[in-house]
Structure 1
Amino acid sequence: MSVVHQLSSGWLLDHLAFINNIDYQLCQHCEPTSNKTVPISSPHCGSLNVTSTLPVELSATSKVYELVTKPETDEREKNKVLMQKYTFRAELFNVTKPYVTTTDCIAFRQGNKVETQKNSSINSFNCENQECVKDEDSVCTVRKKNKRSIVFNQGELDAMEYHTKIRGLILDGTTQLVQEGLKSGLLCSLSEEQEIDNKTTPVELGSCGLAELCDMAKQLPLVDENELETVQSIDADISVPEQDVFSRITQNSSNFTKIIILMGQKYLLPPKSSFLLSDLSCMQPLLNYGEKYDVIVIDPPWQNKSVKRSKRYNYLSSWQIKQIPIPKLAAPNCLVITWVTNRQKHLQFVKEELYPYWSVETLTEWHWVKITRSGEFVFPLDSPHKKPYEGLVLGRVRRKMVSTLREPEMTVLPIPDHKLIVSVPCTLHSHKPPLTEVLKDYIVPDAKCLELFARNLQPGWTSWGNEVLKFQHVDYFITPETRN
């Protein structure tokens, strides 16, 4: 279970436990006389140019390591079973210290103030000695520079006003949940001697970039959709052309987790999961899949200054985001959840433009609050720059705008206002906490769930994005032991 504590203010989650409760357990049937088995000792398998499943299965339920044999002596060697459990790297959730402290913020502000005063004195000195006061353009430029250092733009003013409205809610709710976490032992007060360096060892992945792979796929020969099945199943050991990963849904409908190889890299597929690896220009296979979803979670690549500078990923414009075919994917009364940054421009766009365009009625906002393992905010709550929380905008598809072929079987609880989701964040960029358990009271039983712009897979969910397998790479997992 990822929900450790639930209060009226929201939930305290254990993201790492959610991943490891999937129980990625390898079950390999050894056949010594066969040369078809791909070794599992290495996380990489060379530069293969095909996507394939291995003759291995990861049990989602079995926890017993054993040697399985048949009574017949000549069959024993063929039916040995190796059990190898995969667990997500715990160090990727080893956030023991705030990213920025209150002291850092105060020093930053004082430094800005001193720098502003220093610049003002220098400008005054230069004007007096170089008689630049006669140059009106120069005086104007100096004044503008000084003015920009103390005047906030409209976006910053809107952000400050929004923060003022929700500050008390964030502080009080988080405090209550953190106290429960400290009592139960999920969180712990770390002394200076116990604290571990917050820096984690980088996880080195192979050279296969999924986003780049999607771009490469556009150069592949076109696939005739009439001749291609909409789903490729990973129930059996198969080998398929790479382009199939981009042109149709890949589905693991079994109760076991599978391994596939893509461009020589291994990825773990949870049981009962489906995915499509593509970008916004190639969403038709998802529509061809024919499913209507009760829950759609969206984590768009929002445009911001840091993304432009770092070039970590390609962002989408507001117009491009509006082109996502939510009305075609949503079931009646579908719950739509969109992750937003703290930039008020994005929040207002979702509520006032995006949701109305999709015929989605805005219900409320929730907040993801990021804390350290000792319960501190990762950024000071009143930091003038980054805040320790992000937003989610929740809405429902208006019934009259969609087909009524699939009506909800029961009435669900109304969505409560301004709930908090508090958790220790993953150090990997944009690895959002799971929403499966916090949503269960507000959606129909056995709801069909879809995540757009996903970077990982979940059992029972369909996932789509140009990096949809990113955090399923075996290098993000470890194998503590292998026994037979």
Structure 2
Amino acid sequence: MSVVHQLSSGWLLDHLAFINNIDYQLCQHHEPTSSNAVPISSPHCGSLTVTSTSSIELSATLMASETATKPGTDEREKNKALLQKYTFRAELFHVTKPHVTTSDCTAFQQENKDGNINHEKPECVKDQDSVSAVRKKGKRSIAFNQGELDAMEYHAKVRGLILDGTTQLIQEGLKSGFLYSVSERLDDGNKTTTVGLDSCGLAELCDIAKQLPLVNENELDIVQLIDADVSVPEKDVFSRITQNSSNFTKMIILMGQKYLLPPKSSFLLSDLSCMQPLLNYGKKYDVIVIDPPWQNKSVKRSKRYNYLSSWQIKQIPVPKLAAPNCLVITWVTNRQKHLQFVKDELYPYWSVETLTEWHWVKITRSGEFVFPLDSPHKKPYEGLVLGRIQGKTVLPLRNPKVKVLPIPDHKLIVSVPCTLHSHKPPLTEVLKDYIMPDAECLELFARNLQPGWTSWGNEVLKFQHIDYFITPQIRN
């Protein structure tokens, strides 16, 4: 369970536990006659291969071979499955200290007021970038633009809710031992783990796919199933849904890189220009979670990923993908322009009625905010706007006799964030009381997969890369 504590204010989540409870196990079946099988060779960057697990794990194959050749081993022992267990790297959730402390920013502001710029506080300089009294050199009087004024007004409205609710959840986490006090914290700072990925970027891969020959949809199955000893043409990954319908994890190779597919998961790797296979899939979804690549100054400067304009986001075919009464959840940054766009333009355009806003609050393992709550720029929380599809439809409601609880107002989701950029906490367990047990769920602009969900995006496999996982055990 990823929900560590649940109170009236919201939930304290263990994001890492959610990932590892997925039970990433590769089922390695083997036959005595194929015990000398070798892994499929990894293609070079520029080509693409998709395979199943069966021929990939050389170590598992060799272990299977040893079992098969032991004297006295019966036929059943020779053919049983060997399980390769994977767990997500725990150090990627090793956030023990705030990124910026209140004292850091107070000192920085005082130095700015005195006309002395402290160049030894780069984090705080970044934190003050949009509203600092000093921009480049010398002094200037503090003057806030309209966006900053709107952000300050919004923060004043939600501050008490976030502080009180988070404090209650943190206290429960400290009592249970999930969180630990500052005095118990090892003073080793935040560990930074760099995972070396030599693959071509998935977004670039989608651009390459546009140059492939067009696929005749009448000659192509809507879904490709990842099963034992299956190899498919590269264009199929972009032109139809890839699905792991088994109870075990599967592995695929893209551009020479290995990715793990959790059980009962489906995905489409494409960008906004190639969403038709998702529509052809034919499913109507009861829950649609959207994490758009919002435009902001930081993204423009860093060029970490491409962003979409407001007009492009409105073109996402949510109404065509949504089942009647579908719950739509959109992640929103703290920029008020984006929040107002979702509530005043995007949702009405999609015929979605806004229900409420929730907040994701990011804390350290000792229960401190990762940024000061009253920081004038970076806040320790992000927003989620929840709404429901409205309007008449010819489609019936799924299981109309099943009753679910109404969506509550202003809930908090409190968790230690992953150090990987934009790795959002899972919503599966916090939503279970508000959606039907057999609900069809879709995540748009996803960067990872979840069991029971369909995921779409041009980086949909990003955090499924095998380098983000370790193999603590191999067992029969």
TM-score, with normalisation over the residues of structure 2? 0.89
Q: Is the 8 A contact 2:325 2:397 kept in 1?
A: no
Q: Please, what is the CA RMSD of the aligned residues?
A: 2.7
Q: Does 1:379 align with 2:378?
A: no
Aligned position for 1:24: 24
* 2:286 corresponds to which of 269, 279, 294: 294
Aligned position for 1:49: 48
Q: Does 1:403 align with 2:394?
A: yes
Once the two structures are superposed, residues 19-56 of structure 1 have per-residue CA deviations (whole angstroms, 9 ceiling, x without a partner) of 0001112232344643884549xxx9453632211317
* 2:220 corresponds to which of 228, 238, 256: 228
> Deviation of residue 86 (structure 1)?
0.3
Aligned position for 1:350: 342
Q: Is the 8 A contact 1:50 1:240 kept in 2?
A: yes
Once the two structures are superposed, residues 102-121 of structure 1 have per-residue CA deviations (whole angstroms, 9 ceiling, x without a partner) of 0111122112222389xxxx
Write the distance in 1 (CA, Å) between the matches of 2:394 and 2:71. Answer: 56
> Deviation of residue 190 (structure 1)?
4.0
Write the distance in 1 (CA, Å) between the matches of 2:343 and 2:202. Answer: 31
Q: Does 1:367 align with 2:367?
A: no
Would the alpha carbon gap of residues 103 and 192 (structure 1) be closer, same or farther in structure 2, given more than 3 Å must change? farther
Q: Is the 8 A contact 1:27 1:57 kept in 2?
A: no
Aligned position for 1:7: 7
SS at structure 2 position matched to 1:328: helix
SS at structure 1 position matched to 2:217: coil
Q: Does 1:109 align with 2:101?
A: no
Write the distance in 1 (CA, Å) between the matches of 2:32 and 2:70. Answer: 16
Write the distance in 2 (CA, Å) between the matches of 1:324 and 1:104. Answer: 42
> Deviation of residue 13 (structure 1)?
0.2
Greater C-alpha Rg: 1
Aligned position for 1:127: none
Write the distance in 1 (CA, Å) between the matches of 2:471 and 2:21. Answer: 15
Counterpart residue identity of residue 197, structure 1: G
SS at structure 1 position matched to 2:413: strand
* 1:158 corresponds to which of 125, 147, 150: 150
> Deviation of residue 362 (structure 1)?
0.2
Counterpart residue identity of residue 49, structure 2: V
Write the distance in 2 (CA, Å) between the matches of 1:219 and 1:455. Answer: 23
Aligned position for 1:62: none
> Within 5 Å, which residues of 2 pair with 1:27-176?
27-31=27-31, 33-34=33-34, 37-39=37-39, 45=42, 47=44, 49-55=48-54, 75=75, 78-79=78-79, 81-115=81-115, 149-176=141-168
In the alignment, structure 2 segments of 5+ residues that lack a partner are 58-63, 118-136
Would the alpha carbon gap of residues 465 and 36 (structure 1) be closer, same or farther in structure 2, given more than 3 Å must change? farther
* 2:196 corresponds to which of 199, 204, 207: 204
SS at structure 1 position matched to 2:163: helix
Would the alpha carbon gap of residues 469 and 419 (structure 1) be closer, same or farther in structure 2, given more than 3 Å must change? same
Moved more, 172-181 or 72-81: 72-81
Once the two structures are superposed, residues 217-238 of structure 1 have per-residue CA deviations (whole angstroms, 9 ceiling, x without a partner) of 0011110111111100113321
Counterpart residue identity of residue 327, structure 1: P
TM-score, with normalisation over the residues of structure 1? 0.87
> Deviation of residue 254 (structure 1)?
1.1
Counterpart residue identity of residue 273, structure 2: S
SS at structure 2 position matched to 1:259: strand
Write the distance in 1 (CA, Å) between the matches of 2:38 and 2:394. Answer: 47
Write the distance in 2 (CA, Å) between the matches of 1:233 and 1:274. Answer: 9
Q: Is the 8 A contact 1:70 1:76 kept in 2?
A: no
How many corresponding residue pairs? Answer: 449
> Within 5 Å, which residues of 2 pair with 1:335-346?
335-346=327-338
> Deviation of residue 288 (structure 1)?
0.2
Would the alpha carbon gap of residues 70 and 257 (structure 1) be closer, same or farther in structure 2, given more than 3 Å must change? farther
Q: Percent identity?
A: 82
